[in-house]
């Protein structure tokens, strides 16, 4: 069964990139809500900081559907060709993807999923027919939980990657 794996705020950490890739199976989709590379404010002191390796992997026949938008710490000159915000359909869901550091004045649909990162704090809420997902951060969580989000079988989940447990979930029933 296919799933959508959602992450944000990896900030060039190659070990966290590998952790998220290890969750993927054939037929899955990867969604990254910004700050994948963190090239605006690089972490030169860390041997784990390898945005070039991550870029090489996503640019060279990445085997999964991949949706990514720039975050406030990403330089478009490092990874040209992506957007600040995008709308796409995946597994029957209409998804608005953006990092979250810029305010959304209005939503372009009345039923769907909004994915944002930036805060490094996971969130999963539903308001009317819109589900809001913030996967948190695998690199520098601000609430102590190293998390990502997962959509499968009409359910959205926030998962603590260290404990392998679901922290929060909700059904995605759209009319």
pLDDT at 118: 95
pTM of the predicted structure, to 2 decimals? 0.95
pLDDT at 57: 96
Contact 123, 134 (CB under 8 A): yes
Q: Which residue is listed with tokens 């953006």?
A: 98
DSSP state of 83: B
pLDDT at 53: 96
pLDDT at 12: 95
pLDDT less than 70: residues of the chain: 174-175
pLDDT at 46: 87
Angle at 55 between CA 167 and CA 134, to 5 degrees: 25
pLDDT at 175: 58
CATH of domain 4-171: 3.60.21.10
Q: For residue 24, what are its two tokens?
A: 């993927």
Sheet arrangement for strand 93-98 = 85-90, 93-98, 112-115, 130-134, 123-127
């Amino acid at each position: 069964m296919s799933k959508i794996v959602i992450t944000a705020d990896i900030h060039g950490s190659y070990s966290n990139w590998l952790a998220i890739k290890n969750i993927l199976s054939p037929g899955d989709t990867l969604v990254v809500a910004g700050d994948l590379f963190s090239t605006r404010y690089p972490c030169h002191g860390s041997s784990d900081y390898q945005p070039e390796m991550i870029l090489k992997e996503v640019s060279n026949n990445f085997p999964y559907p991949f949706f990514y938008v720039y975050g406030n710490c990403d330089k478009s000159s490092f990874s040209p060709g992506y957007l600040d915000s995008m709308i796409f359909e995946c597994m029957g869901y209409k998804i608005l993807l953006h990092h979250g550091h810029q305010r959304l004045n209005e939503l372009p649909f009345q039923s769907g999923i909004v994915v944002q990162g930036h805060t490094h704090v996971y969130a999963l809420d539903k308001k009317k027919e819109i589900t809001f997902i913030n996967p948190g951060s695998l690199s520098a969580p601000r609430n102590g939980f190293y998390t990502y989000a997962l959509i499968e079988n009409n359910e959205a989940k926030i998962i603590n990657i260290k404990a392998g447990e679901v922290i929060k979930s909700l059904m995605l029933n759209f009319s």
